[in-house]
Structure 1
Amino acid sequence: MVLLLIALASLIGMHNTTPNPAPLPLHIELDAGVLAVRGKNNTQSLNSNLDVQYDFGRNTLKVAGDFLNSSTEGVDSALHWTAGARYENEFIPASRVYLDYYSEADPFIGYVQRNNEGLGYQYAIHKDSTVFWWAELGYLHSDTNIVRQGDVYENKARFASGATWRFDKTWSLDGGLEYLFNLTYANEDLMSYEFALTNLINSKFAIRTAYIMRHMENPYQGSSYQGTTTLSLVATF
């Protein structure tokens, strides 16, 4: 009996000291929200986002996209989408270089599609278990198909910064700012910022509310400002 107990204890000890399996290098996050208002004017809104990240060594490949559509009585009142990919390399700790390509569209502020090619540098200003704060400097080349005007080619200097704060086991706050200095045309700078509050339901699902503001210094048409508030269910894999 003593020998049996020693053997069982040894097996349990071996089991407890077995290292946990390494986390998968693939991370997928999908969120979607739908809003329907019935009344004098029927209104519908649909928003979705997809973020895919794959890590290999000091390299990271990201694919991302978002879609927003709002309509009133069957007539679109807002439409915006973005889709693209990005490659990052951490050549020294806290420092990364990146290459990206993405397309976007928003006919309600005057452009059918804009294709962007960028490169730059990212620095992790602060990173621990609760806070991650980063900043980026880069260059962007854009080809924009403007409504009823054709293609316009622009060179831009890019500054961006963002932070994530996990202030509770189930709550986190994200914020981000991007400013594009137009080097080709004066008074054509672009700015956007976003705040998002996320509440974890469990390890796979969360509820997120976000506010996004886009500002165009000299818009092709319509207002210079475009603000959007969303409420979404987020699934993480």
Structure 2
Amino acid sequence: MVLLLIALASLIGMHNSTPNPPPLPLHIELDAGVLAVSGRNDTQSINSNLDVRYDFSRNTLKVFGDYLNSSTEGVDSALHWTAGARYENEFVPASRVYLDYYAEADPFIGYVQRNNEGLGYQYAIHKDKTVLWWAELGYLHSDTNIIRQGDVFENKARFASGASWRFDQAWYLEGELEYLFNLTYGNEDLMSYELALTSLLNSSFAIRAAYIMRHMESPYQGSRYQGTTTLGLVATF
């Protein structure tokens, strides 16, 4: 009996001394904003973004998407959505290669849907506790379904750079620029940039204000420029 109690105590001690398993390396960020104005003309606006990241070893898998819809008296005045996935591998410190696929749509610029397949290289120019600055070079192949024209296939060279700066315990600023050089049609380059300011409410929630500008050198229809301002609640898990 004494030997049995000693064995049980040993097993319990071994169990208690075993460290807890590390938390799952999964990061989920969801933000959404809704605006409704009633009066002479009823206006509604909805915007949402989803970013999911899973890290394993030196690899990262990302799933992302966004949706924006604005309407007045039941008639859409803006509509844009994006959905895609991306795989990254850090083959040496600060250097990554990536593969991605994403689809997007914006009928108010003139295309029903665009499917993009890309690959490239990312380098972390500077990284510390408060600042992250990175740049990417890559190749993108696009299949665009243009309204009243059908499918158009394009090859593009891609340059992107972004930075985030946490200048206070509860505030941080982010910026990102992307330029797509159209290798198939020389006068149809695309550029977009985004600025966002985030205020942390607690460890799980934050308020984010963002401004996004998209520029198309030769638009399929409408203006060359499309600017969007959003304000939303961000939930992080």
TM-score, normalised to structure 2's length?
Answer: 0.91
Query: What root-mean-square deviation, in Å, do the aligned CA atoms of Structure 1 and Structure 2 show?
Result: 1.4
1:20-67 deviation per Cα after TM superposition (whole angstroms, max 9, x unaligned): 864431000000000011122111100000000000000000000000
Residue 164 of structure 2 is matched in structure 1 by: 164
Percent of residue pairs identical: 86
The amino acid across from 2:104 in the alignment is E
Distance 1:224 1:163 in 2: 26
Aligned to 2:108, the other structure's residue is in SS state helix
Residue 6 of structure 2 is matched in structure 1 by: none
The amino acid across from 1:207 in the alignment is I
The amino acid across from 1:99 in the alignment is L
Deviates more, 1:147-156 or 1:37-46: 37-46
- Structure 1 gaps, min length 5: 1-17
After superposition, where does 1:7-156 map in structure 2 within 5 Å? 22-156=22-156
Distance 1:120 1:22 in 2: 31
Deviation of residue 117 (structure 1)? 0.2
Aligned to 1:109, the other structure's residue is in SS state coil
Deviates more, 1:160-169 or 1:18-27: 18-27
TM-score, normalised to structure 1's length?
Answer: 0.91
1:69-91 deviation per Cα after TM superposition (whole angstroms, max 9, x unaligned): 00011100000000000000000
Q: How many matched pairs?
A: 221
Distance 1:144 1:209 in 2: 30
Which segments of structure 1 move beyond 2 Å, counting only runs of 4 or more?
18-24
Distance 1:133 1:20 in 2: 34
Residue 181 of structure 2 is matched in structure 1 by: 181
| 1:219 and 2:219 aligned | yes
